[in-house]
Each structure stands twice: as C-alpha cells, then as structure tokens.
C-alpha cells in the first residue's frame, strides 16, 4: 500500500525521486537484522516490532520494482494517452501503472521472499513462539527431527507464497504470456 504508490511517484516525479530515492538506496542493502536492535528499542519485543521489520524488509524491493516499471513504460504510450485527452491522473493510473505492473509483481514476489525470511529470523531472535523460535529451540536441545521438519515447513510455506504470486501474476497480467 505504500511501496507501489511511492515507487510510481519516484518514477514519475523528479522532486519525489530526489527526496525518497537516496533514503531507499541507503537502507536497501542493509540486512533487516542490522536494524532489528533499533526496532526492538523503539517498539519493544512484540508483534509490532516484527511487523515493522517485515515492512522495512519488503518496502525497498517493491519501491524499486515500481520505479523500474515506470521507467519501462514507453514514452509513446504516454504521449498517445495525452493526445487522446487523458488527464495526468488518468495517464498515471491507466497507462503508467498498468505498464509497470509486470515489474511491480516481480518486485512483490521478491519482497515476499524477503519478508518471509525476515519473519523467520526475527522469530529466532526475539520471539517466544513461531516457527523460527521452534527451529532454534529444537536446535539448542539437538532435536534434529524437529529442526528438519521446521525447515521443511518454512520451505513449503515459502513455495506456497510463490505459487500464490505466480497465480496472481497470471490473472493480473495476462499479456505477460503465462499459460
């Protein structure tokens, strides 16, 4: 809800790009666990810290993919829309957003992977329940079967997320060529 509009705004407006692009590019390469202590200090050890950490882990890939999608829209498409009487808002919502949708969906697939990984690791570090906590707790007591089962469940859930995103891509972007 924040990443896509922000990415489109960064791709469409120089001023917005000048303000937000350096911030996104600064924190994008930082691993989420690097700012985990700061998030815990500010928000405590509860669900809000995990949600914030996942949000931050997912924001940069979504913003960058939306920005990339905007720049991939051909200028001729935009000019044709304007010549047919489209308003700037219609150009952004009907031409640019739809043209950027394949890149946005790819960024969302990547972001979901980052978010899932961040959630599992955050559960290992600061949680008292969850699959990450279960795997780490089992490893401390050398319960290998629970560790392996946890890893399999983590992988299966990640694969299901990816299948869901592929399904959404096929439905939302039929022109991309999915069968």
pLDDT reported for residue 130 = 87
pLDDT reported for residue 123 = 84
Q: How many independent structural domains does the chain possess?
A: 1
Could you tell me the CATH number of the domain that includes residue 41?
1.10.3720.10
For residues 24 and 113, the answer to whether their CB atoms sit within 8 Å is no
Tokens encoding 66: 């939306």
pLDDT reported for residue 127 = 74
CA Rg, the chain, in Å? 20
Q: What is the pLDDT along the chain (179 residues), one digit of tens a residue?
A: 999 999 999 999 999 999 999 999 998 999 988 888 888 899 887 788 888 999 999 999 999 999 999 999 999 999 999 999 999 999 999 999 999 999 999 999 999 999 999 989 888 887 778 899 999 999 999 899 999 999 999 999 999 999 999 999 999 998 876 55
**Residue burial 56-90, b: 16+ Cβ < 10 Å; e: rest:** bbbbbbbbbbbbbbbeebeeeebeebeeeebeeee
Q: Tell me: the pLDDT tens digits for 71-92?
A: 999 999 999 999 999 999 999 9
pLDDT reported for residue 178 = 57
Helices (H), ranges, 44-96: 47-72, 75-83, 88-90
pLDDT reported for residue 40 = 85
Question: Structural domain of residue 50, as residue ranges?
Answer: 3-176
User: pTM of the predicted model, to two decimals?
Assistant: 0.87
């Amino acid at each position: 809800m924040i990443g896509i509009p922000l990415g489109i705004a960064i791709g469409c407006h120089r001023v917005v790009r000048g303000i937000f692009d350096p911030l996104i590019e600064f924190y994008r390469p930082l691993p989420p666990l690097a700012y985990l202590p700061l998030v815990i200090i500010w928000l405590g050890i509860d669900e809000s810290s995990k949600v914030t950490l996942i949000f931050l882990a997912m924001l940069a890939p979504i913003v960058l993919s939306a920005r990339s999608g905007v720049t991939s829209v051909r200028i001729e498409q935009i000019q044709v829309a304007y010549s047919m009487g489209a308003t700037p808002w219609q150009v952004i919502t009907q031409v640019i957003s739809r043209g950027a949708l394949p890149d946005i969906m790819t960024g969302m697939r990547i972001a979901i992977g980052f978010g899932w990984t961040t959630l599992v690791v955050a559960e290992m570090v600061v949680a008292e329940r969850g699959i990450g906590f279960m795997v780490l707790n089992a490893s401390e007591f050398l319960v290998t079967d629970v560790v392996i089962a946890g890893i399999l469940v983590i992988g299966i859930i990640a694969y299901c997320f990816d299948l869901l995103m592929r399904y959404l891509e096929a439905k939302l972007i039929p022109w991309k060529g999915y069968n």
